[in-house]
Structure 1
Amino acid sequence: MNLNPPATLLLVDDEPEILVALSDLFEDEFRVLTASSGARGLEILAAEPDVHVIISDQRMPEMTGDVFLGRARQVSRSEALLLTGYADLEAVINALNHGRIAGYAPKPWEPAALLSMVRNAAERFRLARALETEQALLQGLLESSADPLSFKDAQGRFVRLNAAKAAALSCPLNDCLGREEAGMLEGVAAAAALRSADAEAMARRRAVETLEQRQEPGGPPRWVRVSRIPILDGEGRATHLATVEHDMTEQRALEERLHQAEKMQALGTMAGGVAHDFNNLLTAILGSLELLLHTGLAQPRQERLVKNAIMAAERGSTLTQRLLSFSRKRELQLRASDVNQLVADVEDLLLRSLGDAFTLHRHLDEGLWPAMVDPEQFGLALLNLCINSRDAMPEGGEISIRTRNVTVREEEVGDLTGGDYVAIAVSDTGSGMPPEVMAQAFEPFFTTKEVGKGTGLGLSMVYGLTRQSGGTTVITSAPGEGTTVELFLPRARRPAEMPARQDGAPQPTAHPVTVLVVDDDPAVRRVTATFLSDLGHRVVEVPDGEAALRMLREEPGIRLMVSDLVMPRMSGVELTEGARSLRPALPILLLTGYADPARVPEGYPVLRKPFRRADLAQWVAELLQD
């Protein structure tokens, strides 16, 4: 494939013999067009815009060569050469002025000289066309790019720039030309930094990319990626500098949100593991205290101390519930709920918790959509938020609870997908948060309160609740301007459900049977076995799944298995599958300090740690009754 097709020549002469002679000279190297008059030559130029060189005779009837070339210049940018058989200096000068001829040759011509003259003219045409193309491309780039672009000389003065760059400098485009960019900046430090960055790129003689933070008056900081590209001459010297600037503020914000989401996920995984181990400890502590209480303590003081220890252990259980809500390892009971009614249900509790120094305002949307949420956990989240607001206003103040319907577009609210949501905002008139505190507000155990006055789990629990519900939590705050925490809960597509009524009837007792207890934690296993023994059952204890399967093969009298869900080597899920293959009708109760709902086998009951003897007794009675 010929990437450089031959140049096109237009030969104009009224003598056929001259046209034949010229054609014979050029046709091996050029594409040749011929015309016997100036008028015919103009017709050809109109139809053939890509003629590189015109060679015209001067003495022609109707239209002389200089006149023809003058008219040709109006429709073509071709190079032009004049042939004349007379020493007509006036015609040559006229052709130079109007036809802008590149040269002239006498008749008869010297073939080698004329051929060389035409070659040079064709090359000039190609160079001019290439320059025009580059100028058009550059102009198109400058005008169409939304990114600020500029070209500067070695002294940092603008040679070319686009409207976006001029707008960034708050200067009319033409007024920027010839001015040094550094001198147009506010502040000595900014000017010095720009000169240093430009000089470094010029010295390296290769493209340099930097990420710069820029602060505009009255606006938030922006992040800008600046590419500095030195332009080298034929000897490799950097003579000019091209700069391309791209605003990275939105991308940086997305990256920070992604980083924060990844950090929260890692913290959630850690929190779930901590809660699991803590619940095992609480099960042993709470179970032992309850067993001690039921032995019949000799002195009232001893009973008070044990009951006080039980209350403390139950408070520890509440902390693990908050951790599990944050880590999304606690299975929520999501249902379509009337959020306005849930707010009204906890209003008395909120007022008692806040005290007389605080005023609680409610602004509830009467047409509020039902939302998918766990009502119990929502009430706890609302209480946590109001207590946080109270603690931010030690001298008293106002707290507002607002509800509203909102349709969110994609990427409009943090990590929230587009759709319909019910928003619940808790606002206070407190001291507010600086940005560095807001960035850590959802992290578990992070608190600005004094030691002993906060666990740092309130906001993390709220965040975990909304994320597990399919929504999110957003904080808006500034020092001295108070704080607003807004919960976004997904809109329910069915009417709000009425709260289920609690059946207070006593659970039936179970006849004594042999129960297999499987748990790798000896303290938990002992407490579970003792509870079951106190209920009258015969207990067989094993520390792992392999031993449990062996016991099921050897002990046909086992009627119930109580197993931990998370164990090394063989998990509770794997154990239930093996047990079902051996004893398809065997009732199984799973115990867990945390439970990702996806990990629990479908159809198996789960008892959360820490549990009381009455909780275990209820499940055992129900399973043995079936």
Structure 2
Amino acid sequence: MNDGVASDRAGHEGSTNEPRGGEDLVRGPDGAPGHVVGEVADGSAGRPDRRVRPTVLVVDDEAEILTALTDLLEEQFEVVATTRPEDALQRLAEGLRPAVILSDQRMPGLTGDVFLERARAHSDAEALLLTGYAELDAVVGALNRGRIAGYSAKPWEPAALLAMVGSARDRYDLRRALETERALMRGLLENLPEQLSFKDGQGRFLRLNAAKAAALGATVAACLDRREEEFLSPAEAERLAEAERAVLAGGAQSGLTQSPAGPGGAPRWLQVTRASLGGGLLVTVERDVTEAHRMEARLRQADKMQALGTMAGGVAHDFNNLLTAILGSLQLAGKRVGDEPGLLRLMRNATMAAERGSALTRRLLSFSRQNDLAPRTVSVNRLILGMGDLLARTLGAPAGGTLELRRALAADPGTARVDPDQLELALINLCINARDAMSAGGTITLSTANAAVRADEIPDLAAGDYVRIAVEDTGSGMAPEVLARVLEPFFTTKEVGKGTGLGLPMVYGLVRQSGGGLTIDSAPGEGTRISLYLPAGEAEPEHESPEEGDTARARIPARILVVDDDSTVREVTAGFLADLGHETVEAADGATALRLLETDPGLRLMVADFAMPRMNGAELSARARAIRPGLPILLVTGYAELATLASDIPVLHKPYRQSELAEKVAALLG
């Protein structure tokens, strides 16, 4: 078109249409100028790199006008110029992303308003129109159809046109930034797992995500423009209103709150953060931290268990020393009393009481997991059948009712890898608890079965093959709040003096220490079933020989060194050995024992306590072997961490009987 020429044309008089400044002039088939394309910033398919400069697409059918516009704009923009609107549409379809499109109105084949309207299908760039003064009607049409942001008449004033293009670029950048923010907000609302909501000054929802709506039991659409209090109970609504008023008055707040119980009845814990955005606007983010809260509670419980275990271990050590002295003295005295029925009965009562104390000590050590288990392959059926008389004597019958003990043993439940003595103690505890839960009488059923446990089927139990031993009663059962605490040490529902609260924790400690697990199924009025899962053994155990009734005297008496810082325990141990026919030499500490070993070559064996002040049994054993390399050593302990002990040194646990001591000594003396 020839009705308008750029007012800065004079500044380019004498110029030609040859390519300049990185431009590429393309001519049509008839030799006429085709289109001029400015160099693209990133050099790939016309896509601009906005980190460099924004791109402006210029369309005019006259090459001279394109040259003038390019000269005007190229200092601030990357200019892509063409004389053919069809080519411009093709470039946009191929991915060109300009910030501004500047088009002439009167062009052959496709007018500017129609071109800009079609360009909207490929680009969201700001559209500007160049036109002559006589084409205001076309401008109005273009504004309506092509969403033109502005126009400039020809000839243009350079500064004004440059400012118009710059303003269009700024609007484009602002619009894109707003669209990005909207997309981010929409993505945040739709995908954030936390509950997110925005409210106005009256507490009505302006925006919220699906997680928040779901927590209120509604949809997003149903919540908009409504107050959250409408979905809550009056008490919860009042607490919410008070919290939001405090935030609007004093700034951001964050804290842990408990939400109403869900469908499963378990409460949920939320970390709630509220902040004022000004103008009465409020944003709230609620993150479900129920699992983290539970893990924290478990950690606190584990810390408490560890502290109690440490205390239990220390108590057990001292208590075992006392029991060793008491039981040993009673056993030695029983051989000297003679035939006095009354005195023998008193001594039996004292022995039974001391043995009950020993059982309590074993419970403490099992609970604290600080006793040394002696696991071996055990036939669970044979063990349960062998406990018949023991259970009958222990359980008796509840007052006002009868007690029936049943066995439902699998034909071939395999074997379990466990300490049989501790397992017997665990089953006795479970049967006593079952009896106490049936005040009017009932049935206790002991059952066995093989169990193939899948991954995550039972909490804290790895997948694998196990032997299951279950103790089931027909008693009163347990309420959920009691069931949640039964494994806590010292927790008991029995009257004062009738329960220690260590029975179930001891059982749990045993199965966990043995590599197994435990489940409890109970409900009020429906009885209780406790199942122990023990790792399956590999082979049928050998039959154990029955214990000898009396302790035989040593066939070859020996001179034995007895080392213990507790004089009563030392005296009992020496008495046991002397009663067997041995000669004993006593030492109250490790230093004295070492001096005796250096000066007394007749000592053939050392029996020493492990836990002694200044020099424990492990240190004494190492130094004693340096003096006497071939000396046999037996350590006795009530509670000790034996990891530092040489593997070839045998250990005897307190309280021990004379027969157990005799067996160990005979083996060491050969």
Q: TM-score, normalised by structure 1?
A: 0.91
Cα distance per residue 1:524-581 (max 9 Å; x no partner): 1222223334444433222211221122112222222110011122110111111111
Name the structure 1 match of 2:57: 10
What residue number does 1:27 align with? 74
Q: In the alignment, what sits opposite 1:72? A: 119
Corresponding position of 2:539? 495
Evaluate the alpha carbon distance shift between residue 601 and residue 507 of structure 1 in structure 2; reply closer, same or farther with a 3 A threshold.
farther
Deviations 1:249-271 (A, max 9, x none): 33333333333333333322322
Match of 1:192 in 2: 238
- CA 1:466–1:445: 2 relative to 1, 3 Å: same
Structure 2 equivalent of residue 514 of structure 1? 559
Q: Residue 571 of structure 1 corresponds to which residue in structure 2?
A: 616
User: Deviation at 1:462?
Assistant: 1.2
- Structure 1 pair 208–30 and aligned structure 2 pair: CA distance change class (3 A): same
Aligned length, in residue pairs: 618
- Equivalent position amino acid for 1:571 in 2: N
Partners of 1:194 and 1:65 in 2: how far apart?
58
| C-alpha spacing 1:347/1:152, structure 2 compared with 1 (3 Å) | farther
1:313 aligns with 2:354: yes
Name the counterpart of 2:419. 374
Give the alignment's Cα RMSD to 1 decimal.
2.7
| 1:199 aligned partner, one-letter code | R
The Cα of 1:489 is off from its aligned counterpart by 1.3
Structure 1 segment 210-289 matched on structure 2, within 5 A:
210-216=256-262, 219-230=265-276, 232=277, 237=278, 239-289=280-330
Structure 1 position 302 matched with structure 2 position 343: yes
1:136 pairs with 2:177: no
Deviation at 1:190, TM superposition (A): 0.8
8 Å CA contact 2:258–2:269 kept in 1: the answer is yes
Preserved CA contact (<8 Å) 2:254 2:271: no
Determine helix, strand or coil for the equivalent of 1:315.
Answer: helix
Report what 1:183 is aligned to: 230
Verify the 8 A CA contact 2:59 2:103 in the aligned structure 1: yes
d(CA) in 2 for partners of 1:404, 1:533: 48
Give CA deviations for 1:377-422 in whole Å, capped at 9, x if unaligned: 3233222212211111101233333444444455553333343333
**Counterpart in the other structure of 2:521:** 476
- Structure 1 runs not aligned, ≥5 long: none
Q: 1:441 to 1:164 in 2, by over 3 A?
A: same
Q: Distance in 2 between matches of 1:238 and 1:167?
A: 28
**Secondary structure in 2 aligned to 1:88?**
helix
Please state how far the C-alpha of 1:116 moved relative to its aligned partner. Answer: 1.1
Matched with 1:153 is 200
Which of 337, 347, 352 in structure 1 is aligned with 2:378? Answer: 337
Residue aligning to 1:358: 403
Displacement of 1:348 after TM fit? 5.7
Q: Which moved more, 1:592-601 or 1:90-99?
A: 592-601
Distance 2:545 2:121 in 1: 95
Question: Whole-Å Cα distance in 1 between the matches of residues 413 and 203 of structure 2?
Answer: 60
Per the alignment, in what secondary structure is the counterpart of residue 465 of structure 1? helix
Structure with the larger RCO, 1 or 2 (CA within 8 Å, 6+ apart)? 1
Q: 1:212 to 1:461 in 2, by over 3 A?
A: closer
Q: 1:468 to 1:572 in 2, by over 3 A?
A: same
Residue 429, structure 1, aligned to residue 474, structure 2 = yes
**Contact 1:424 1:487 survives alignment (8 Å):** yes
Which segment is superposed worse, 542-551 or 203-212? 203-212
CA displacement at 1:457 relative to structure 2: 3.1
Given the superposition, is the C-alpha separation of residues 250 and 403 from structure 1 closer, same or farther in structure 2, using an over 3 Å criterion? farther
**3-state DSSP of counterpart to 2:667:** helix
Aligned AA for 2:91? I
AA partner of residue 236 (structure 2) = A
SS in 2 for 1:541: strand
Q: Tell me the percent identity.
A: 56
Map 1:384-533 → 2, pairs under 5 A: 384-409=429-454, 412-492=457-537, 494-502=538-546, 504=548, 507=552, 509-533=554-578
Structure 1 residue 504: Cα displacement: 4.4
Question: 2:441, 2:554 → 1: CA distance?
Answer: 52
Distance across 1 between alignment mates of 2:546 and 2:388: 22
- Any conservation in 1 of the 2:258–2:267 contact (CA below 8 Å)? no
Aligned-partner Cα distance in 2 for 1:350–1:294: 29
Per-residue CA deviation, residues 191-245 of structure 1 (Å, 9 max, x unaligned), is 1122223333343433634333322366222222223344x3xxxx255333333
Find the aligned partners of 2:541 and 2:340 in 1 and give their Cα distance. 49
Larger deviation, residues 91-100 vs 502-511: 502-511
* Aligned-pair CA distance for 1:49: 3.5
| Letter in structure 2 aligned against 1:473 | L
